Chain A
Amino acid sequence: MNRQNRYFRRLSGYYAWFCVCFAGFLLALTVLENEGMPRLWIGHLFMFATIALYATIGVVSRTSNVTEYYVAGRRVPAMFNGMATAADWISAASFISLAGGLYLSGFDALAYIMGWTGGYCLVALLIAPYLRKFAQYTIPDYLAVRYGGGAGGRGGPVRALAVGATIIVSFIYVVAQIYAVGLIASRFTGVDFSVGIFLGLASILVCSFLGGMRGITWTQVAQYIIILVAFLIPTMWLSAKHADNPLPQVAYGSVLPKLAQREAQLALDPREHEVRARFQKEADVYKERLAALPASWEQGKVEAQRRLDTARLRNLSLADVRSAERALAAYPKTADDADTLWREQRARLLARAQPPQPHAAPFAGATEAESNARRNNFLALVFCLMFGTAALPHILMRSYTTPSVHETRVSVFWTLFFILLIYLSIPALAVLAKYDIYTSLVGSDFSSLPTWISYWGNIDKVNPLIQVTDINRDGLVQLAEIAIDGDVLVLATPEIGGLPYVISGLVAAGGLAAALSTADGLLLAISNALSHDIYYKIVDPGASTQKRVTISKLLLLAVAFIAAYAASQKPADILSLVGAAFSLAASALFPPLVLGVFWKRANHAGAIAGMVSGFLVCLYYMLRVHPMLGGRMDAAWFDIAPMSAGIFGVPAGMLAVVVASLLTAPPARGSDALVDYIRAPE
């Protein structure tokens, strides 16, 4: 106890120093900015300074000891483990996209807040303490020992299935994180997207490659501190500006009614009506063209060709010829392509023709049935995110790293506490930023647009993050004229609030830290599954500890490069599946994990049946309904979105475990003793 206390105090000392240095760094940069240091340099400095910091922590905590490498020596104090898990948890999506999602969809996006926090109840009550008591290295380890079976009762098949699920889920997720690293790096430092990816990769590798779990734990604690500061400073600033109270979590309650009032006002504004009517008209044109397919497609093609010809014949300016050429090149190749493309464009126009939805109103829908469908989807999404949280290997893996079962329970408490410090301010940021945009941007003059709009609008030419066009040509900004991508919200908040550019750099560093910390944890989960579960437990059980760690490091390197390569291809299909990773994890891993502790009768056959059928049901539903995978939304069951396929997968998995276990012989006596052992306190 005493040694643990001393260790805790020493660590606290280190991180206190870190905070002081970090504050000094911020101050120094603020001074330098006032002295006229260019923006780009600030971006570069932030990026390189933080990456160097993570690399240093990685080098300092290098190790080749098996327990240190896989589970950080099982001596991480609960509070620090909580911080590290929180950093592991707060991904690029939570940091950058969640506030934007709330801005765009209001109440309906709160499903993410509820799901991603509520899942920790399942982790704390049903899984984490038992895993810690079991005290091995990976999640497949636990499932294999608990369920046995296979050659020699070592649980080979269960282990292989669990490894497969771990790898699929973590890989989808890690590609998205590395993609986010590339985006942030390229947006803030102006380097090429793929260069950004490999810069991020370098820092990921230094700390996980050298230090394994130990390296990433101590890096993640530092990353959490940066994430927290980066998120809270701009949010508190906005909160002080609009609510005269620097505590955003408390203050935004007073802004909500004002926002609702402004929304109601904008919904009735005649100029807004005018802009929306234009979008409606354009959408109606698409409707007619869709109805007249395929004749309208041919006609459109001929027209596009003729426009190009006339542009060339009449010797119009080069720009006109180019735009006519582009229009022809972008014209759908077949009538079927035209059908999908025009449908998408019509949907986009229709969405912009809608009046603003009240931010706080739950499940707005034209009819009762539509509203109910949205409620059911909200419920299903919350369900999947919660159960997915409780089955993500890189989170569960962290419960092995504390000194005792009690510390594990406390550590989950700290995890949720640290996550909530950020998650409770995300809805606040969305409301505050929305209020700012609705009151100061909407209604302002086009000649005096704030600079952040042109800055962020020009950063990605293909899909502009924000676009404000004077559609009704009245010289004033209407709400309906603003097209905003959710991602820009957090990145631009400092500028929206009028803070110096240093804070923008800090926010970028925070986003980078969020993506890197999650990527670290995921890569380690994948390479541990491969090296420990496949190589050591199945291929070569006689390997020396030295060899195991070396193999693990090599595999980590290989996986990291494959993931970086995949991310550099900008794979739209993988990115659209990130939300689905939660459903897959929940369906495949949750039933065997929980029933393994709470139901002694669950056996080897049940575990296999549960994992396979949970995974397959989930996959089948996604293939059936997800448009990116060739499904159609018309085929949905109870109007549930494909991302929430876990709502069918988890019950299917549970049922399969129960049925298959009851149909086959009870598990061996050893498994009873094991269950008793993990249930008993230390």
Chain B
Amino acid sequence: MPPETPHPLEPDLARQQRLLAARATHWRRTRRLTFVLMALWLATGFCTVFFARELSRVTIFGWPLSFYMAAQGASLICLAIIGVYAWRMRRYDRDLARTMADGTRVAGGVAHGAAK
């Protein structure tokens, strides 16, 4: 039996609840990731500008740090944030797909055994 097909005897309600719980977990993880990355984004942008005068005394490879951050650093951090987001979300999406497939198979097996 292919794992995607639900067992005919499995109660529809339980299956639906499991599905909802898995989705809720996925959304919770998405939200947490979004929140963390947005906080990082805000911190980079805000600190670069707000403390620019203080940071300009520090120099790296010729650039005053504040100039470097505003011209390149902040943008590169944004690129990294978007990259991390795409990568993590792909994993969350796959996790969810696997949980749902597993859940169906396990549940199907149990129900099958009970029927015997």
Contacts and interface: CB of A to CB of B under 8 A. Distances in A.
B29 to A, nearest CB: 11
A362 B62 contact: no
Nearest to B79: A416
A406 B90 contact: yes
A406 B71 contact: no
A382 interface: yes
Which of B27, B48, B62, B68 has its CB near the most chain A CB atoms (within 10 A)? B62
Contact of B53 (A129, A363, A405, A676): A363
Nearest to A116: B75
Contacts of A682: 93
Interface string A331-375: 000000000000000000000000000001111000000010001
B96 to A, nearest CB: 6
A121 B82 contact: yes
A181 interface: no
Interface stretch (B1-9, B38-46, B106-114): B38-46
Contact of A117 (B34, B62, B75): B75
A110 B46 contact: no
A256 B65 CA distance: 12
A107 B82 contact: no
B86 interface: yes
Interface in A377-414: 378-379, 382, 386, 405-406, 409-410, 412-413
Given A360-B63, A379-B46, A409 B86 contact: yes
Which of A126, A360, A386 has its CB near the most chain B CB atoms (within 10 A)? A360
Contact of B26 (A114, A121, A417, A680): A680
Contact of B63 (A253, A413, A416): A253
B82 to A, nearest CB: 4
A382 B82 contact: no
A125 interface: yes
Contacts of B56: 360-362
A424 B75 contact: yes
B50 to A, nearest CB: 7
A113 interface: yes
B101 interface: no
B58 interface: no
B56 to A, nearest CB: 6
B82 A416 contact: yes
Which of B56, B75, B96 has its CB near the most chain A CB atoms (within 10 A)? B75
A120 B49 CA distance: 18
Contacts, number: 136
B70 A118 contact: no
Interface in A112-155: 113-114, 117-118, 120-121, 124-126, 129
Contacts of B61: 253-254
A567 to B, nearest CB: 31
A121 B37 contact: yes
Contacts of B75: 113-114, 117-118, 416, 420, 423-424
B20 to A, nearest CB: 9
Contacts of A427: 71-72
B97 interface: yes
Contacts of A679: 23, 27, 30
Contacts of B34: 125-126
Interface in A36-66: none
Contacts of B60: 253
A409 B85 contact: yes
A360 B68 CA distance: 9
A249 interface: yes
A121 B43 CA distance: 13
A371 B90 CA distance: 45
B67 A362 contact: yes
B67 A107 contact: yes
B85 A124 contact: yes
A110 B70 contact: yes
B76 interface: yes
Contact of B41 (A121, A257, A424): A121
A105 to B, nearest CB: 12
A612 B23 CA distance: 34
A681 interface: yes
Given A124-B82, A125-B38, A676-B23, A382 B45 contact: yes
Contacts of B68: 253
A295 B2 CA distance: 95
A113 B50 contact: no
Contacts of A371: 53
A120 B78 contact: yes
Contacts of B66: 107, 360, 362
Interface string A228-269: 000000000000000000000100011111000000000000
A194 B63 CA distance: 44
A113 B70 contact: yes
A257 B23 contact: no
B22 to A, nearest CB: 10
B66 to A, nearest CB: 5
Contacts of B67: 107, 110, 256, 360, 362
A413 B82 contact: yes
Contacts of B27: 679-680
Nearest to A675: B27
Contacts of A386: 45
B74 A118 contact: yes
B64 interface: yes
A169 B37 CA distance: 29
A679 B23 CA distance: 9
A114 B45 CA distance: 8
A117 B82 CA distance: 11
Contacts of B23: 676, 679-680
A157 B1 CA distance: 50
Given A121-B37, A121-B38, A257 B49 contact: no
Given A406-B86, A416-B79, A681 B52 contact: no
Given A125-B82, A360-B56, A360-B67, 12 more contacts: A107-B52, A110-B70, A114-B75, A125-B38, A125-B41, A125-B81, A253-B68, A256-B64, A386-B45, A405-B93, A410-B86, A417-B79
25 contacts: A110-B71, A111-B70, A117-B74, A117-B78, A118-B41, A118-B75, A121-B38, A124-B81, A124-B82, A125-B34, A125-B38, A125-B41, A254-B61, A360-B67, A361-B56, A362-B56, A375-B53, A406-B86, A409-B86, A413-B83, A416-B75, A424-B71, A427-B71, A598-B31, A681-B96
Interface of B: 23, 26-27, 30-31, 34, 37-38, 41, 45-46, 48-50, 52-53, 56, 60-64, 66-68, 70-72, 74-76, 78-79, 81-83, 85-86, 89-90, 92-93, 96-97
